[in-house]
Amino acid sequence: MLGVASNRLPAPDWALGEPPMPLVREMPAASPFPHEALGDIGAAVVAQMHRVIQAPLALIGQSILAAMNQACQPYANVCIDGRVSPLSEYFLTLGESGERKSAADSWALAGVRQHQRNLMAQYDQDRDSFEKAQEVYETTAKRILADKKLSPEAKQARLDEIEKPQAPVMPLLIVSEPSSEAIQRQLIIGEPSIGLVNDEGGQFLGGFAMSPEKRLGTLTTLSRLWDRGEFDRVRVGDGSGSYFGRRLCLHLMVQPAVAASLLADPLAREQGFLARCLVSYPKSTAGKRTYVEADLNAAPAYQDYACRIQELLTGQWPKANDHELDPPNLFLSPEAKRTWIAIYNDLETGLAPEGAFATVRSLASKAPEHIARLAGTFAVFEGDDAIHEDQVDRALQLMLHYLTEAQRLWGAGQIKPELKLALELLQWLRTKVGPGRVIALADVYRKGPAAIRSAAVARGVMRILMEHGWVIAGTHPKTKEAFELVEPR
C-alpha cells in the first residue's frame, strides 16, 4: 500500500475549464515506414510478419533491413567517383516493453543464428583437432631444438619442415553487449563481418561500453568502423596494430526513455555517432492485437527471405585472409548516378539555416552516403552487379523516413532533466495513485520513481506539476505536505 489517504476532495474550479498545460510539446505522429522500399522479398516478408506478429510495421521493417544489411555487408563496397564506402549501417528502433521486439528480432535473424550454431559446432571439433596438432607440433619443435647434434642452421631447416597448425577462426556472427575492446578483439581473431544486435538495447547503452569513462572510445570505434571498416588498437600485452577490411552492422531496439539519453547526448551528436544511425520510433500496436493462427516458417514470403539470407551467409566472402575482407567495388549505373546526384543536390539545399533539414543537419549531410549504402545493400541482396536507379529511389524513400523521424525525435531527446522527472512522476501518479486521492510527499520519494529519492527533489518535481496544473495541494491526516492528482475531465 502507498499510504494514500482515502478522503476524496472536490475537483478544483480549473479542472472544469482549462485543462492542465502540457509538460513538453506534443511529439508529432510517427512517419510511416515505407516497407515496400525493401524490394520484392523484403517487402513481402515484412508484410507477412506484421500480419502474424502484429508488432509495429517499422519495428519489423528495421529488423529485416538490418538482417539484410548484415548478410550483404561482406560482399561489396559502394564506389562513387573514387569515394569508397562500406555497405554497413547502424539502426536504432524505439519501442516500449511489450511491442514484441524479441519476436521480430528472432524471426529476422533466425537464419543467422542457426548458421552461427552450425559453425560453432564445427569450430568446437576443429578446435579440438587444432589443440592436439599444436601439442604434437610443440613437442616436435622442442625435440629438434634440444638435439645437440644439429647445428643452428639444421635446426631451423628441420623446423621449417614441420607444418605449424593454424587455429580455427571463431565464427561468431552476432554479439549483443560487448565493450569497444571486445568488438575490436572479435574482429581481430574472429570473422571480419559481425552484427551488434540486441532487442534490449538498453543493456548496451546502459552498460560498461557506454559508461562515462568508456563512452567516447566506444563511439569513436563505432564511427570509424562505419566510416571505413577499420580501427587502430594499442594494447599492452596482447598486441597493437591497424586493422582493415572489417564490417559491423548495428541494430539496437531500445525503450524510448533509454534512447532519449542517447538522442540528447551532446557527445553522441557532436562526435557524429547519431548522424550514422537510422532511427525509427513507430506508433504502438499494443491493445489492438489478436492471435493469428499461422506458422511463419510455412509462409512462402518468409521462406523466400530465409533462403536468400542463407545463400548470402554460406557464400564465399571476398577475403584477403582469414580475418580481413577485400570486397569489390559496386558502382552505380549511369541512370542511378544521375538520380543520386540530383538527390545529393536537393538534400544540400535543405542544410541551409532555413532549409528543411537544418535541425538535423549532421544526419542530412550524410544522407547521400546512407542512400548509397542502402541502395548497395539492395543490389547485393537482389543479386545485381551494379546499383540501379530503382534501388536508389527506394533507398531515398527510406532516408526520407529517417530524416522525418530524426526531426521529431532529436528535439524530444533534449527535454530538460527536471521535466523528464516530472513526466516520470506524473505517469507514476496516474498508475499507482489515480486522480482524487491524496498522497504525502514522503510517500513520493520513499515509494515513487527511482530517480526521486529525497524530499528536496520530490518537492521540486511536485512544484513543476503544480505550476502546470497537474496536481494541487491536498489535505492529509498526518502531514502538511500532500498533493492530489487531478486529471482533466
Based on the fold, state whether residues 20 and 52 are members of the same structural domain. no
Across residues 42-61, what is the average pLDDT? Answer: 97
253 pLDDT exceeds 90?
A: yes
Taking residues 44-67, report their average pLDDT.
Answer: 97
Are residues 17 and 64 part of one domain? no
The band of 13, judged by pLDDT with boundaries at 50, 70 and 90, is: very low
Domain that holds residue 462: 13-24+416-485
Q: Is residue 3 part of a domain?
A: no
Q: Are residues 18 and 60 in the same domain?
A: no
127/218 same-domain check: yes
Of residues 129, 118, 72, 154, the one with CA closest to residue 318: 72
What digits encode the pLDDT tens for the residues 119-147? 999 999 999 999 999 999 999 999 999 98
Q: Do 63 and 208 lie in a common domain?
A: yes
Q: Tell me, yes or no, whether 393 lies in a domain.
A: no
Position 379 in a domain: no
Gyration radius (Cα) of the chain, Å: 28
User: 99 and 19, same structural domain?
Assistant: no
One domain for residues 20 and 34:
no
Q: How confident is the model at residue 238 (pLDDT cuts 50, 70, 90)?
A: low
**What one-character-per-residue DSSP string does 382-393 give?**
TT-SSB-HHHHH
* Of the residues 331, 349, 382, the one at which a domain ends: 331
Query: Which amino acid is it at 301?
Result: A
Last residue of a domain, one of 331, 349, 366: 331
pLDDT, tens digit, 9 for 90 and up, residues 358-402: 989 999 999 999 999 999 999 999 999 999 999 999 999 999 999
* 17 and 147 fall within a common domain: no
* CA-to-CA separations, 32 to 40, 103, 280, in angstroms, rounded: 19, 21, 10
The verdict on residue 100 lying in a domain is yes
Contacts of 331 (CB under 8 A, 6+ apart): 79, 80, 386, 387
Burial 331-344 (b: 16+ CB within 10 A, else e): bbbeebbebbeebe
Q: What 3-state DSSP class applies to 482?
A: strand
User: Do 155 and 283 lie in a common domain?
Assistant: yes
Determine the average pLDDT of the residues in 325-340. Answer: 98
Rounded mean pLDDT of 29-37? Answer: 95
Sheet holding 277-280, edge to edge: 174-175, 193-198, 247-254, 90-94, 277-280
Mean pLDDT of the chain: 89
Query: Is residue 395 within 8 Å of residue 374, measured between CB atoms?
Result: yes
The pLDDT score that the predictor gives to residue 86 is 98
Tell me: pLDDT of 7 over 50. no
pLDDT of the residue at 341: 98
Nearest in space to 268 (alpha carbons), one of 203, 260, 247: 260
Distance of CA 440 to the CA centre of its chain: 41
The Cα–Cα gap between 415 and 261 comes to 10
Reference 239, options 165, 187, 295; nearest CA is 187
Give domain status of residue 114, yes or no: yes
Q: Band the pLDDT of 3: cuts 50, 70, 90.
A: low
Q: CA 364, CA 304: separation in Å to the nearest integer?
A: 34
Please determine, for residue 19, whether its predicted confidence score (pLDDT) is greater than 80: no
Query: Is residue 366 assigned to a domain?
Result: no
In a domain, 297, yes or no: yes
Same domain, 137 and 259: yes
440 is a domain residue = yes
Residues 118 and 184 in one domain: yes
Helix (H, G, I), strand (E, B) or coil at 483: strand
Q: Are residues 132 and 178 both part of a single domain?
A: yes
- Domain C-terminal end among 331, 366, 387: 331
**DSSP for residue 207:** S
Q: Is the pLDDT of residue 343 over 70?
A: yes
- With a cut of 90, say whether residue 480 has pLDDT above it: no
Render pLDDT for 132-186 as a digit per residue (tens, 0 to 9): 999 999 999 999 999 888 999 998 999 888 888 999 998 999 998 778 888 998 9
Which one, of 30, 145, 74, lies nearest residue 412 by Cα? 30
**CA 431: distance to chain centroid?**
30
How far does CA 22 lie from the centroid of its chain? 30
Pick from 67-71, 265-269, 425-429: least confident: 265-269
- The interaxial angle of helices 110-146 and 152-161, nearest 10 deg, is 150
At 432, which CATH number? 1.10.10
The count of domains in the chain is 2
422, three cell numbers: 516530472
